[in-house]
Structure 1
Amino acid sequence: MLGGAPTRSPAVAAGMSGPRCPQCAQPWVSPRLLPCLHSLCDPCLRRLGALEGEPGGAARPVLCPVCDAEVSLPPGGVGQLTPDCLAGSRAGAAAGCDLCADGAAAGRCLTCGVRLCPFCCRAHRRQKKTASHAVMELENTKDCSQAGKPLLCPSHPTEELRLFCEQCDQPVCQECVLGRHRQHPYDFTSNVIHRHGDALRKLLKNTQQHMDTLEDVLSQIDKMGSAVRSRAEAVATEICLFASGYVRAIEEHRDRLLKQLEDLKVQKENLLHLQKAQLQQLLLDMRTGLHSARQNQRTGFTLLCNDTTGERMGQGGEAVQVTITHKDKRDCAVKPTVCDNGDGTYYISYSPEEPGLYAVCISVKGQHVQGSPFTLKVKHKFREHQGVFHCCTFCSSGGQKAARCACGGTMPGGYQGCGHGHKGHPGCHHWSCCGQVKQSSECLGGPPSDTSSRSLLRTVAL
């Protein structure tokens, strides 16, 4: 960065011993302390700092090549930095600890250049600002021979650093006190060392107590972390078990509800089928028993009484009233018979004497049932066939030409009978008396005959 920086000669570099500059890895040349407490030799500092003698030079921030901390150089440049006398003159001293002065030096910080007892070595490695410093055992350093040399002033090489400027916070000699440190408060270095040493020892003692406490706290934190992890795993297991049981219970409840729904559906479907069958039977009975009957033929129907929910009543005892009157002949009434079956059904039978239209009124507890009054059509007495249900009069009469059939059919050749069923006369079986083709039909001709009465089942819903 800077031109004109002094370079060290091979002779000077070869004649120096002890630790080396961490920047150039060469023996120290006028080492100075940066604000971050790292030491660099003068040539390395000048390559980092402002131009020497720059007019009006202000503080310029630079990065320490050791810790990468941003530090500011004084306005006067590198020359105003505090000389590191320990690194330059007493780098290898192995007498006592420079920090506590209680124990013998067992090691030395290659970064700070201070001698350290075993306790201070450990503290030096634990502190945040010095944790990255390289500390070596004293017997491994190569400049132990300089342990007894006095500390000389870099500005006045013949003077020993016996004083300490309180204002500039650096060791000085008598010439410095009389020169640029005039009117600055100062004290003997021995007093400053003891004073700062006592403070450091007190701080180290407090630090040791806090370190023990911190170590206990860290141990407790590790234990608590293990307990938290164990508890979390146990709770996770409980959550999984609870969720599985909850899901299983929901599935079982779902299956029960679906089973109940299926049973209810089957029950309702059966009830609907039953009601449908009853309605169909009701319609059939109303079309037959309540809507049509035969003269002087006893017939009837069954009345089913249901409750308000549509279920069939299981007991009788209701007041059922039935009236059957002729619409054209007011004096022609039919007296019905009501039979209580005791199971919620009532059989009503009647025998009309006159053909025609009748009005059937049915009431329970004084209220008409649904559809009442009904219209009843009474037909004439059922006429039975007097002839033969055959396919051909010619065949039935044994081939007589004079045999006639009530159907009116004849055959060619003078035959009076029908020729149904023969070639040229396709036909079917029929009654010879009236020509009806249905065997169980009523005869349309011939005198009526008495038939036995029959009872029909009639179903009427309330």
Structure 2
Amino acid sequence: MATAAVLPDKISHDFLECTICFHVFKNPKVLPCLHNFCEPCLWEWVQKNDGDTFPCPICRQPVPLPQNGVEGLKDNFFLASLVKAVTEHQGVRHGKDVLVCTNCEEGKPATSRCSECAEFLCESCESAHRLQSTRSHTLFTFEELKTGTYDNVFRARKAPPCSKHPGEILKLYCRTCETPICNECALFEHRDSQHDYTRIEEVAAEKRETILDLTPQCQARMQVLRQTEFVQKRCKEQLQLNAEGARQNIHKTAQSLIAMVKEESERLLTCVDTEETSRKKQIDAEIEGAQISLASAKSTCEFAETLAREGGDYEVVSFSQDMTTRLNDLTKLPADTTDFELANITIDYSSMEHKLTKSIPKTGQYRRLAKSTEGKLFSPLYSVPQSSTTSRTGLTTSGPRGNVSGTMIHDLVQAGSVL
């Protein structure tokens, strides 16, 4: 478990908010792409997208819809428990809301909290708690919790019970079946020699290490995506400059021979507008794709880091397979999709040549990005240094790491200034 600290300072407020309704998660559901949304918000979203699948609201990845609809999507117990823990923490530390006893149904104000049961107790339940089989449990008064000394008790999240054996907690992990199990599962369904199972906290430590090793590589990809977005915007700006230059040139040419070429000049203007619109749409699509990929990578990194740092053993193990697959996918560098030729505008004056053979140029070429400038803009995308690290579990990972330096940003700015 992560070192105790003031819980809200370790978790961003945005991380606990649904990106559809912008409120704190209510019964959060996690999609295969590891994006999270409130169950009611997903119901509304699915109704707008008829079919057996629906696109993720963030990355647009198709998501198969279970037979029982949104209800069948995977619950994110990790996020739900974090929301509950942060809410309780703020209630105790700042006294914003009156917390009631969660052990009885009388609605009495709570005066203490049991660290083992993770429940708030009123005075009556607290007295009973000290006399029953729970007398060995550790109780903290609100005054003790307000000091911040016991913030780590809010991190304590019990593993969920076994679905096959009610009353049994999922304390073990079967490596053969890749699933958490309880003691009874180990005695019956997973008892033969083919099943390799161990304590869930041991597996969680390994999975947590793997996730933390992969996360920096995902962050390096985020930097590449930021640069891709920047390059595409520069290309779009140059397209607009070139298109404007083309218009001015056409007007100049037309002014010298207005009577003869007015009709032709209007046609050429339409061609330039059409070409600019078409190419701008292509570039906008690339920019949108880079922005979506960046948002996806960012949310995945934040989720991965928080899960590894704040998640319980069961939660880390439960998400490890999807999380590792997702992080591995995000460590792959994107393909080179920047087409600098889109910023080039060429005007065909051949039709005008028939009227003024020697007076009108056949083509009007407008300045494009210089090759040296293209290199300065694009080279940072694939110049992130490669490095490898070895984790405490023996896992060796390699890939782009580090941030773009101040010199690199300066070069990009200088490249833009010479256009």
TM-score by length of 1: 0.26
Structure having greater relative contact order (Cα 8 Å, sep ≥ 6): 2
Q: Which has the higher helix share?
A: 2
TM-score by length of 2: 0.29
Q: Which has the higher strand share?
A: 1
Higher CA-based Rg: 1
